[in-house]
Chains A and B, each alone.
Chain A
Amino acid sequence: MSDMDEMDDGSGIVKKFMFLNRKAPHGTVYALEGLEVVLITAAFDQDVSMVFTDDGVYQLLKGIDTKGIEVKDFSKTYRALDGYDIEKLYVDQASMDARGLTEDDLIVDVTVLSVDEMANLMAEQDVVISF
């Protein structure tokens, strides 16, 4: 159950929102601020999917330690996503392969998709926001 107050735009419409995470967790602010949009969207009771592709797969890497670069470590937030009813997490197989990663390297349970499967999933969405 979410600890964030349920929000409502008054329309009662539920759309399929996909958040496409393409960038490494640190180095730019996109992953951190993107995550804030994901949580708010879930609080609006929308149908949320998160996709991790390209360097975005590094966002889910185990053992992230940001002490040396003196920035906030928001890695724990990914583990808390199911508390916001965000359970559809997908990673791109080719992006994992290119970086020598497997599901065992990730901090959360994900569904690994081929490029074709990802394209189909994307085609089903109403809104795709890329960070």
Chain B
Amino acid sequence: MQFGILVNEGPYSHQASDSAYLFARTALEKGYKVPRIFFYHDGVYNASRLATPPQDDRNVGARWSKLAADYGVDLVVCVAAAQRRGITDGVLGDNFRISGLGQLVEMGIQYDRLVTFGD
């Protein structure tokens, strides 16, 4: 079973990104495949390495980067949504990349399930 995951909300102000992370990590731990996670709308803010949350809280961006490093997940940030919000290659966290919406459509075509996290 291959899951594609779509994250539509930014970190901290909304639970969507936390839920998406927990879903993805659990699926991977249980042996399912999550080849790619796509970040859209304010979800692109998950990719910023400029965020410095308090040390006693989770670091959402770093957590995504580690998940990608541990399991080889492709973290893709929508270029159009990113450009609107000032997310550029220069501020991307480790293992994130910027690409087009075609990468999202491909997940829908190729994977067994596409799971959306957002409002």
Binding site for B on A (CB under 8 A): 7, 9, 11, 13, 15, 17, 29-30, 33, 36-37, 40-41, 44, 46, 126-127, 129-130
| Residues A129 and B80 in contact, CB atoms below 8 Å apart | no
Q: Kindly state whether residue B98 has any CB partner on chain A within 8 Å.
A: no
Question: Contact partner of B104 among A7, A15, A37, CB < 8 A?
Answer: A37
| Residues A7 and B102 in contact, CB atoms below 8 Å apart | yes
| Residues B105 and A37 in contact, CB atoms below 8 Å apart | yes
Query: What are the nearest 3 A-B pairs in CB distance?
Result: A127-B108, A40-B101, A9-B106
Number of residues in B with C-beta < 8 Å to the partner? 20
| Residues A9 and B110 in contact, CB atoms below 8 Å apart | yes
Known: A127-B108, A127-B114. 13 other contacts (CB 8 A): A9-B105, A11-B109, A13-B109, A29-B41, A30-B8, A33-B40, A36-B80, A37-B101, A40-B104, A44-B102, A46-B108, A46-B109, A129-B114
Give the number of A-B contacts (CB < 8 Å): 53
- Chain B residues, Cβ within 8 Å of A46: 105, 108-109
- Chain B residues, Cβ within 8 Å of A41: 105, 108
Q: Kindly state whether residue B116 has any CB partner on chain A within 8 Å.
A: yes
8 A-B residue pairs with Cβ-Cβ distance under 8 Å, sorted by A, are A7-B102, A29-B41, A37-B104, A40-B100, A44-B109, A46-B105, A126-B108, A127-B108
Given A29-B41, A33-B40, A40-B101, residue A11 in contact with residue B114 (CB < 8 A)? no
Encoded as 1 (CB less than 8 Å from any A CB) or 0, chain B from 107 to 119 comes to: 0111000101011
| Residues B81 and A33 in contact, CB atoms below 8 Å apart | yes
Q: Give A124 Cβ to nearest chain B Cβ, in Å.
A: 15
Q: Give A131 Cβ to nearest chain B Cβ, in Å.
A: 8
- Chain A residues, Cβ within 8 Å of B8: 30
Q: Give A115 Cβ to nearest chain B Cβ, in Å.
A: 21
**Residue ID in chain A nearest B40 by CB atoms:** A33
